[in-house]
Amino acid sequence: MKKLITLSFVMLFLFGCIDVFAYDIPHEFWSIDDQYQAAVSANDSYAVIETAKEEIELMKNEPENETVLQIIGSRMEMIADTYEALGNYPAAADYYEQYVYYADALHWDDAAKIARAKTLHYRPRLEMFQQTTHEEVFFNAKNEPHMGVFFGATADGEIRQQLSDESAILLFHEFGDTDFTWFHHIFQQAEQKKIRIVFALNVPNEGSDIRMVPSSGEYVDLVISELAKHPTVPVYLRFAAEMNIWDNRATPSEYINAFRFIGNKVHAKLPNVAMVWSVNQMSSWDVNMHDFYPGDEYVDWIGVGSYLSKYFLGRDDWKPEEAFNETVFFAGDSADAVLALEDIVNTYGDRKPIMLSESGVAHYIHSLNRDETKWAINHLHQQYEFLPKVYPQIKAIMYFDKRIPEEVNDYALSDNPELAKEYLEEIHHSYFIHGSQSNAPTAFHKITDSVSVTENTFTFGVYPHVYKNASPKVDVYFDGYYITSLVEPHYLATLDVSNETAGKHQLKLVIDGVIEREYQLDVIKPIRLYLNENELHSDVAPVIVDGRTLVPVRIISENLKAKVDWNAEAREVTVSKDGTNIVLGIDYPFVTVNGETEAIDVAPQIIDNRTMVPIRFLSEKFNLEVLWDDVTRSIHLNQ
């Protein structure tokens, strides 16, 4: 386990190995170290931190060798551990992150792993999102929706009786089982509802079964022939999932060979079936999940088994020196759905859609006879509200609604009416795909620094993370003035900017004084358009592009009694009135007027499915006077 570097060890190393390294420690070190040792003996945390920092700064000026690395690394860890004990988790995160370099250099692998986990959890986070009706992430993978998240539960879960609009079913089948009666029953349901199937083809004997797959071509062909009987159902074949936590392990090469064997047959014969490579969100201590990745050409989707529990392994008696287990394995205070998926998304989310191919939150811990419904509800919100916002690559969430008798944790919605009620509310957000829909109506866009606001209201959501605070309060300030606070479960706010001046404003978010983020809101007042003092209303307002005002060509032309024709193939619009024929090409900086070509300041554009053209150009051709009112942000056209 963790390799602790104590003071006595360091001093023994220094005195015992100086001759080997022929290195003289600076004499200034010893007087500082006397103070450090005294602070440790007196249990004076702040003095320990300050003297350890002095030693680090001194030794950073020395040539890097193993002695120097030992000293700096041990002091970095001591500072981080001390900040942790004081409850100053952001400061602890800073020093654990620095410590990783030295732990890696000294091959303290377990210590480095723990430090990385603590850095991840202890550092506070705050991210802001805006709901959008535009596609945010799309990889053109097999059976991938352009927008939204499809959802469902285990085929035999009781919650399905209350799901009138499920968009997928999670179906399990054991490799080697030749009885497909239940299989076809569920597929027929999917056909009738026109929904999807996440087909989990499990290997019950884990590594032993995996080694037999390449020689089991006859059975694989049988599975493919049964799947082929349902060609209209979009299928996601999740083969041999969670290999990174198997007891009966397979080697990476054994697993990859088996997955590729299945994948080649599926891709060759089943155009409606996508291959899903699925891991558990946490690997066994000495396992690297990424070693088992079969390769992009064999994997259509990335799957994750994501389970959250307040008690790691159903225990609440971890000793202080063992407490890091909860941090490393995302349990207890470290049970954060967003952080648990960060490694997966960072590794594959630039090229593959991701699904929670199996998920749940523990509401009852049988080993402790303890009900944790409130905790479970809070963390259900994380999975169904935070994940789709933070990671738009996630396109599916499947819930494991089943009680396994030998499990210490109960995740089944069917066993907890209160949690089931929350689940049924969560899935009705507009970013979920319902029933036979192919896409959801909305998605989320992450706001990094600034955002333009063109409506009278601005609605946004946040993802806050503060270690040991599952429900932090987020205070919102607009131009320096406090306006509201965001709290669980939804962390949503709507700002009314109708009375604010056009231009740039500051929006600041603060979590309990721990972290703050500033964003720039560019309030853009809609431009109003008048013709002969009669206001013209369009579903797309005039906009300013490169200093030129663009207006919808059709609403202007038709109110002037001009004829408007659209050529979709050529992407051209023709406006005709009183013997004048004008042809405008989309994104083309020239126009044709009665056969003569002339340049135009700003090319016509399509904005929200409307053709927009420079108002100055139209006014000249139709002999209109153009007046701009800066106070009311309005354009007045007069014949």
pLDDT, tens only, 603-639: 888 887 788 888 888 788 778 888 888 777 788 888 8
Q: Name the band, by pLDDT with cuts 50, 70 and 90, for residue 82.
A: very high
pLDDT category at 22 given cuts 50, 70, 90 is low
- Is residue 187 within 8 Å of residue 230, measured between CB atoms? yes
pLDDT given for residue 9 in this prediction: 35
Span 540-599, pLDDT tens digits: 777 777 778 888 887 777 787 888 888 888 888 888 888 888 888 888 888 888 888 888
Cis preceding linkage at 489, omega within 30: yes
Task: Give CA separation, 635 vs 529, 539, 630, in Å.
Answer: 5, 16, 9
| 148-433 and 448-523, same CATH topology | no
3-state class (DSSP) for residue 361: strand
Cα within 13 Å of Cα(433), Cβ side:
24
Structure confidence by residue, pLDDT tens digits, 132-189: 888 999 999 999 999 999 999 999 999 999 998 999 999 999 999 999 999 999 999 9
Is 50 exceeded by the pLDDT of residue 502? yes
Q: Look up the CATH number of domain 528-638.
A: 3.30.457.10
CATH number of 148-433: 3.20.20.80
Percent of the chain with pLDDT over 70: 97
**Residue 203, Cβ neighbours under 10 Å: how many?**
24
What average pLDDT does the chain have?
91
Q: Tell me the mean pLDDT in the region 234-260.
A: 98
CA–CA dist 600, 592 (Å, integer): 10
Q: What is the pLDDT of residue 524?
A: 80
Q: Which CATH number fits domain 448-523: 2.60.40.10, 1.10.760.10, 3.40.50.720, 3.20.130.10?
A: 2.60.40.10
Closest of 281, 327, 343 to residue 123, by C-alpha: 327
Q: How many residues does the chain have?
A: 639
User: Encoding tokens for residue 500?
Assistant: 């604010």
Q: Which of 392-401, 434-443, 554-563 has the lowest mean pLDDT?
A: 554-563
Model confidence at 34: pLDDT above 80: yes
Question: Tokens for 143?
Answer: 């059976």
Evaluate whether 267 touches 287 at the Cβ level (below 8 Å). no
Task: For residues 16-33, give the mean pLDDT.
Answer: 72
